[in-house]
Amino acid sequence: MARDDSRQPGEHPHSTTIPVVTSGDLRYEALCRAYNYRFIAKPDHFVLARTTQDVEAAVQAAVTAGRRVTVRSGGHCGEDFVAAPDVDVIVDLSAMSGISFDHDFGAFAIGAGATVGQITRELFHRWGVTVPCGFCLGVGAGGHISGGGYGPLSRRLGLSVDYLHAVEVVVVAADGTVSTVLATRDDDDPNRDLWWAHTGGGGGNFGVVTRFFLRSPDATGTDPADLLPRPPGVLHIAEVNWPWAELTEVDFVRLTGNFVRWQLANSAPDSADIDIYALLNCVHRAAGDVAMHAHVPDEAVGSYDRLTTFLDAVSDGVGVPAVVRRRSLPWMAATRYLAVPETGPFAVGLRCKVKSADLRGAHTDEQLATAYRHLTSEDHQTTYSALEYIAYGGRVNSVPSTATAVTREAVLRTFYITLWHDPADDDRHLRWIRKLYRDVHATTGGVPVPDATNTGAYINYADIDLADPLWNTSAVAWHTLYYGSNYSRLRAVKARWDPRDVFHHRLSVTPER
């Protein structure tokens, strides 16, 4: 059902003039560049939307003229989904970053252009609440939430989409008419399928999200401070290093295996240790040492001792002593301390490639030894290249996989990343990460085919290689890796809300025919 502007929550004023930036504008070149400099956009123009009505007008103009339109929230896509060469119009949502509490709707309204950092800061400073988002603070809500965004609190609180009460989306009908739809999680909402598609279906698939409305599904009352979870007051943090110079292959296999086994044993939704979060960062030896970050709410019962027990379990039997530093920080200071930097000479101008694989079982010693050989290769010089093991599971697994578009079986997430600055190094870095990923998953066709060990991959770490038979020899389709059995339902939603396939990219959901 199209939106009736007279009765919708948190109504925006109409714009009188929509800012448009073309190649003759001083701002054009800056807008062409987002986080990943591998893909420089060159559209005919950018639309700097400020309201939902601006987005409607921009999309309608593009559809009427037969021009390809894409949308950008934070600009952190790992592939060219926004900046493909044939894109004519990019709708930039960065100005649509408002965060407020809608009293009529009883939910927090989050503009799709708001960043994870803005969301975390505003929710805490204004109401003392949070949602489980990531620690890359510059990532935009539009893609992060739509793809099933997670973060350091997810083991204890679940995913960001577990708090998605409603979503406002600009859609295009079969006849080319553009309208705005409000879709809620209410069982009797005729638009509920569109809400469901945005609980992990990924951005750029069904329309343009303009606002998310967040509240805990079991919340009652009207006080905003009671309608989302509260973050920890203080985090007790441990930073741990193991020097590569002293790590043998046997030590690495033991260390990484210990980390994985602890996660598998302590990630049930009712585990006493789901409040312990950890990330094991196996960075290439040319760029640093193997490091681990771990934290637990300082106020939790037995927090210091439980974290010590975890650290001891990870180091057990490793022949290299761990260098451990511990400290406690208030919540907002801790989020800044843990954040991935997005300013400075290292962060600006980066070119990157990412991959992912989600686990419900342990990697074999041979897989870990394979990773060791790639991470210690003498012929790979890098700004930053790594295989990260990230704690997951817990409350994430308490929700059935069919309840949201994002699947729920994984208890551990692996993230493969390589970063560099010089375009002349593109082939070398792409070759390194592709071979690492392929070789780790050699027994399943080079990709994490769902089985007793793997559950697939994460769409927010988009990787077009999963659709390339050169790198995916498993005969399992890319969409099975990302969505499992939910893909057929996503196709039905696509057919209803974007039957013309206006919003598409190289890994987009295709409409059911």
Q: Tell me the two tokens of residue 166.
A: 């409603």
| Tally of structural domains, the chain | 2
How far apart (Å, rounded) are the C-alpha atoms in residues 215 and 512? 32
**Same-domain check for residues 247 and 225:** no
Please report the pLDDT score of residue 389 as a whole number.
99
Please report the pLDDT score of residue 447 as a whole number.
99
pLDDT averaged over the chain? 96
Q: Determine the length of the chain.
A: 513
Express each pLDDT in 407-458 by its tens digit.
Answer: 999 999 999 999 999 999 999 999 999 999 999 999 999 999 999 999 999 9
Q: Assess if residue 288 is contained within a domain.
A: yes
State what percent of residues in the chain have pLDDT above 90: 94
Task: Answer yes or no: are the C-beta atoms of 458 and 427 closer than 8 Å.
Answer: no
Q: Parallel, antiparallel, or unpaired for β 107-111 and 208-214? A: antiparallel
Q: How far is CA 413 from CA 14, 46, 390, in A?
A: 43, 35, 5
**Same-domain check for residues 410 and 470:** yes
Q: Tell me the two tokens of residue 180.
A: 């705005």
Q: Assess if residue 37 is contained within a domain.
A: yes
pLDDT tier at 13, thresholds 50, 70, 90: very low
Q: How distant is the alpha carbon of residue 328 from its chain centre?
A: 27
Q: How distant is the alpha carbon of residue 221 from its chain centre?
A: 31
Q: How far is CA 63 from CA 171, 189, 397, 424, 501, in A?
A: 11, 28, 40, 37, 11
**Same-domain check for residues 246 and 160:** no
How far apart (Å, rounded) are the C-alpha atoms in residues 197 and 200? 7
Please report the pLDDT score of residue 58 as a whole number.
98
**Same-domain check for residues 197 and 278:** no
Does residue 9 surpass a pLDDT of 70? Answer: no
**Same-domain check for residues 204 and 243:** no
Q: Assess if residue 457 is contained within a domain.
A: yes
Does residue 41 surpass a pLDDT of 80? Answer: yes
Taking residues 279-289, report their average pLDDT: 96
**Same-domain check for residues 328 and 454:** yes
Please report the pLDDT score of residue 230 as a whole number.
98
Express each pLDDT in 129-160 by its tens digit.
Answer: 999 999 899 999 999 999 999 999 999 999 99
**Same-domain check for residues 194 and 268:** no
CATH number of the domain that residue 105 is part of: 3.30.465.10
Please report the pLDDT score of residue 6 as a whole number.
32
Q: How far is CA 239 from CA 170, 267, 285, 311, in A?
A: 44, 21, 18, 10
Task: Answer yes or no: are the C-beta atoms of 255 and 242 closer than 8 Å.
Answer: yes
* DSSP 8-state secondary structure symbol assigned to residue 170: E
Q: Assess if residue 509 is contained within a domain.
A: no
Last residue of a domain, one of 211, 230, 249: 230
Please report the pLDDT score of residue 17 as a whole number.
85
Taking residues 191-215, report their average pLDDT: 98
Last residue of a domain, one of 230, 257, 278: 230
**Same-domain check for residues 224 and 261:** no
For 73, the domain range is: 18-230
**Same-domain check for residues 43 and 123:** yes
How far apart (Å, rounded) are the C-alpha atoms in residues 72 and 146? 13
Taking residues 329-356, report their average pLDDT: 92
pLDDT tier at 15, thresholds 50, 70, 90: very low
Closest by CA to 93, choosing from 36, 130, 149, 52, is 52
CATH number of the domain that residue 250 is part of: 3.40.462.20
Q: Assess if residue 10 is contained within a domain.
A: no
Closest by CA to 52, choosing from 92, 12, 24, 91, is 12
- Rounded to 5 degrees, φ, ψ at 72 are -130, 130
Express each pLDDT in 480-511 by its tens digit.
Answer: 999 999 999 999 999 999 999 999 999 999 99
